[in-house]
Structure 1
Amino acid sequence: MKTPSTPSTPPSPSSPSSPSAPPPGAERTGGPSVRIGALVPLTRPGWTEAGRHLLAGLELGVRDVNEAGGIDDRPLELVVRDTAADPEKAAAAVDELARLGVAAVAGEYHSVVARAAAARADALGMPFLCSSAVLDALTDRPVRGIARIAPAQSHGWRIYGDFLLGAGHRRIAVAAQPSVYWASGTAILRDHLAPRGGAVVELGALAPEDLCERLVASGATALLLLTGHPDPAVEIVRAVRRDPRLAGITMGAPAGQPEFAEWAALLGADGAAIPFLRYLPERLGPLGARVATALRERLAEPPSFVAHEGYDTVAVLAEVLRTHGTDRAAMAEAWAGVGVEGTRGKIRFSRTPGISVWQWEWPPVQVVDRDPAAPDRFRVLHTG
C-alpha cells in the first residue's frame, strides 16, 4: 500500500446525529430514499486503504444506480459506518443501522469484523451482503439471509498453494500474527500442501531479526507474510531483503498486502516480486473497464479488486431491491434467484459445501506480484 496523495476521506457519517448527504443522482429520482448500510474500515487499526477503495466502489455503484433511475424511481442511499477493524464496533453499527431502517447491510473488509457483523445481522433478521471478507466460517451455522461476493479463503488460498508448488516450493515458512484469519489460512495451506509433498513451518517470532534467524534455520524456500500492514509486514520485508543469507528466499503475501499503492510507496523495489491473491479477471469486459476508469478518477490511483467488490455489491443489492422490495424478510430469501452482471463476470449465489452463507462461486482468482523492473506494474503469475 502507498500513502497516496488522494482525495481526502469523505466526511464520516458515523455519528447518528450527522445528517446524510443527498445520494449521488438523487435529483433524477423521486420519493424517499432506499437506504442500505455500509460497513467500512476507515480509521486505524483498520486497513484504511482497503476501506477507502471499498467505499469508492460502493459509492460509484450507488451513483450509477441512481443515474439509471434508482429503485422504482426512489434514490438509493448509503449510510456509512466506520468499523476501524473492531468486531464490537461493527456489531454495534449493525444494531444502529437496523434502528435507522436500512433495508440491508453491505461491505466490510476484515474477516473477523465481518463475522461479528454477520452474527448480529442474522440475529436481527437483517440481510447482509459481505463484500470483501473471505473467512470460510463467516457464521457459526448455515444461515439464509447472508451472502458473500468475495471468494472463500479456502478457495483462494488453495489456488495460492498450487502456485507455490508449481514454482518449486515444498517447504514454506509462515510468519503469522495471532488471529482466527491467519490461523485458518495456515491450516488451509498445510492441509492442501501436505498430500502434494509440501510442508508448512510456523516460525512463531515476528521480531524481524529473530524471524530471519529462524527462517535461515528452517530450510524453507518461501516465507509467507500472514501479518498486518504496514506493521509488522514492512519491517519484515526490509529485514529479509537486507539479510544476505536469505537472498534466494521468495516472500509471499496471499492476503493481498502488496495490492495497494501504499505498499509500493513504503517499500519501493523491496516490495516487488512478492506474490499475492487478487480477485480480477485477466481482462475486464466492457462494464468492468468502464467502472475501472471511473474508479481511477474517483480514487486518483489505479483501483484495487476491493473497489470492484464494492461496486458489484451495490449492483447485486440494487437488483434484489428492484425484484423483492425493501422488506428484509423477502430480501433475505432472494439470494438463490440473483443473476447480475458484475464488473468481473456474472454473479450468482449458491450453497457451497463447507460455507455457511450464500456464496458467489467463484469470482476470478489470480496470483499476482509487482514487477521488479517497474514496481507500479503488476504481473499475473497464475490463475485459478
Structure 2
Amino acid sequence: MSTSPGVGGAGGTAVRIGALVPLTPPGWVEAGRQLLAGLELGVRDVNDAGGVGGRPLELVVRDTAADPQRAAAAVEELARLDVAAVAGEYHSVVARAAAARADALGLPFLCSSAVLDALTGQPTEWVARIAPAQSHGWRVYADFLLGAGHRRIAVAAQPSVYWASGTGILRDHLAAHGGGVVELDVDALGTAALCDALAAHGATALLLLAGHPEPAASVVRAVRRDPRLAGVLIGAPAGQPEFAGWATLLGGDGAGIPFLRYLPERLTPLGVRVEAALRERPARAPSFVAFEGYDTIAVLADVLRAHGTDRARVAASWAGVETEGTRGRIRFSRAPGIGVRQWVWPPVQVVDRDPADPGRFRVLHTG
C-alpha cells in the first residue's frame, strides 16, 4: 500500500481518499507523476489548514499502470479500505473501468484527468469529473485546424476506444465545415508506408492518435525527414508534447506540434500560489495535469467539510459544488450526452512548443 500521510495542523483519525494514478509502464508515467504531485500538494494544503473537521486527509495511492482491470480491482480494494471517495486517473479507458466499478459499489469517484465522453455506460450520481469531455476539447482543436486553413486531415491512429472516439469527433466537426479525415493505421503501415500514404492523400495536417513515446515519436521523426511532407502540420490533440520527456526525446523535431491543454490565460490567485509550490516538488514546470489533481482535492475537501464522509451524501453533493480552483470556479452540471456530473467547462487552449525555443509554449487558440 502506498499512502501519503496527513501533515500540518490536522489531528485525529484520518479521512482516507483513494488515488488512482499511472506510475509504471505502459502507463504514461510522467503524466501520473504530475497528477500525483497535484493530489499530494492539495492534501498537504488541506491538512495545513486544519484538515476536514479537524481530521487530516490521507491519500491511499494505487498504481493503475494504464490497465483497466487493475484499476477496477484497485477500486474494489479501496472500497474495502473505507475510503470516503476515489480520485484521479489520467487514461480514459482506465478511468472508464474505474468509474463503472465505483458506480456498481456505490463509491464516489471524482475523475481528475480522463476525458472520454462515455466515462460510464449510463447516467450515474456516483461519478463527477474535473477534466473537460473529449467532445468539447477536440471540437476546439478542430476549430483551430479550420481557422488555420486545414480541411484535409489525416490521423495516424492505433486501435483504441479513445482514439476512435477522437477520430469520430474530428470527422463530424470537420465535415460540417467542408473538411474530411482519412485514417492511417500506424501499426499496420509502419512509418515509411504511412508517409507514402500521407503524401498520396494530400492532407495538410497529420494528427498523432497514437501512444507515447512510441509509435508517436517515430512518426514525428519520419514525417520531419520526408521532403514530400515539408508543409504538413503535425498535431497531437491528446497532449503528448505537454511533458518535458517529449522535448527531451525529440528536441527540435518535437516543437511546432499543437496540442490541447486545460489552462486559462491567467491562473487564479490560488493557481499562482499552487504553481509556485508545484515547481518546488517535481523540480520541473507543472503541467495542467498537476492543476487537475490539486483541483480534485480542493473539491473533495469542500464536499467533505460540508457533508461528512458518508459516501451517499458525498455523491449527492456534486450538484451543489462551488469551489474556487486553480483555473477558475468549479461547478458541476449535466452536459448533454455525458452520464457523469461535469465541470462545464474548464478553460481550453491549443498550444505548441516554440520552434525557436522548445522550452517555451505558444498559445495558438483558445476555446
Normalization by structure 2: what TM-score? 0.99
Aligned to 2:108: 127
Aligned to 2:303: 320
Aligned to 2:176: 195
Aligned to 1:377: 360
In structure 2, C-alpha distance between the alignment counterparts of 1:369 and 1:328, rounded to whole Å: 41
What is the Cα deviation at residue 21 of structure 1? 5.2
Aligned: 1:248 with 2:231:
yes
Describe how 1:59-138 pairs up with structure 2 within 5 A: 59-138=40-119
What is the Cα deviation at residue 321 of structure 1? 0.3
Is 2:353–2:360's contact at 8 Å kept on the other side of the alignment? yes
Aligned to 1:5: none
Is 2:155–2:183's contact at 8 Å kept on the other side of the alignment? yes
In structure 1, C-alpha distance between the alignment counterparts of 2:317 and 2:193, rounded to whole Å: 52
What is the Cα deviation at residue 68 of structure 1? 0.5
Amino acid at match of 1:62: V
Is 2:4–2:60's contact at 8 Å kept on the other side of the alignment? no
Amino acid at match of 2:174: L
1:9-30 Cα shifts (integer Å, max 9, x gaps): xxxx35xxxxx453232xx122
1:164-209 Cα shifts (integer Å, max 9, x gaps): 0000001000001000000000000000010101100111234111
In structure 1, C-alpha distance between the alignment counterparts of 2:259 and 2:10, rounded to whole Å: 42
What is the Cα deviation at residue 99 of structure 1? 0.5
Aligned to 1:235: 218
Which one of 270, 274, 280 corresponds to residue 291 of structure 1? 274
In structure 1, C-alpha distance between the alignment counterparts of 2:116 and 2:83, rounded to whole Å: 25
Where does structure 1 lack aligned partners over 5 or more consecutive residues?
A: 1-12, 15-19
Describe how 1:165-176 pairs up with structure 2 within 5 A: 165-176=146-157
Describe how 1:350-365 pairs up with structure 2 within 5 A: 350-365=333-348
Describe how 1:144-183 pairs up with structure 2 within 5 A: 144-183=125-164
Which one of 3, 9, 12 corresponds to residue 31 of structure 1? 12
3-state SS, counterpart of residue 203 of structure 1? strand
In structure 2, C-alpha distance between the alignment counterparts of 1:237 and 1:378, rounded to whole Å: 18
In structure 1, C-alpha distance between the alignment counterparts of 2:285 and 2:186, rounded to whole Å: 35
Amino acid at match of 1:280: L
Amino acid at match of 1:308: F
CA distance 1:347–1:21, change in 2 (3 Å): closer
Amino acid at match of 2:128: A
Aligned to 1:221: 204
Aligned to 2:26: 45
Is 2:5–2:59's contact at 8 Å kept on the other side of the alignment? no
1:260-307 Cα shifts (integer Å, max 9, x gaps): 000000000000000000000011121111101111110101000000
In structure 1, C-alpha distance between the alignment counterparts of 2:4 and 2:348, rounded to whole Å: 36
In structure 2, C-alpha distance between the alignment counterparts of 1:293 and 1:37, rounded to whole Å: 26
What is the Cα deviation at residue 210 of structure 1? 1.2
Amino acid at match of 2:132: P
In structure 1, C-alpha distance between the alignment counterparts of 2:196 and 2:105, rounded to whole Å: 50
In structure 2, C-alpha distance between the alignment counterparts of 1:336 and 1:95, rounded to whole Å: 25
Amino acid at match of 2:341: W
Amino acid at match of 2:108: P
Amino acid at match of 1:198: G
Is 2:5–2:57's contact at 8 Å kept on the other side of the alignment? no
CA distance 1:187–1:21, change in 2 (3 Å): closer
Where does structure 2 lack aligned partners over 5 or more consecutive residues?
A: none
Count of aligned residue pairs for this structure pair:
365
1:210-236 Cα shifts (integer Å, max 9, x gaps): 110111011100000001100100011
Aligned: 1:282 with 2:268:
no
Amino acid at match of 2:348: V
In structure 2, C-alpha distance between the alignment counterparts of 1:320 and 1:218, rounded to whole Å: 52
In structure 1, C-alpha distance between the alignment counterparts of 2:134 and 2:207, rounded to whole Å: 15
3-state SS, counterpart of residue 176 of structure 2? helix
In structure 2, C-alpha distance between the alignment counterparts of 1:365 and 1:191, rounded to whole Å: 20
Aligned to 2:325: 342
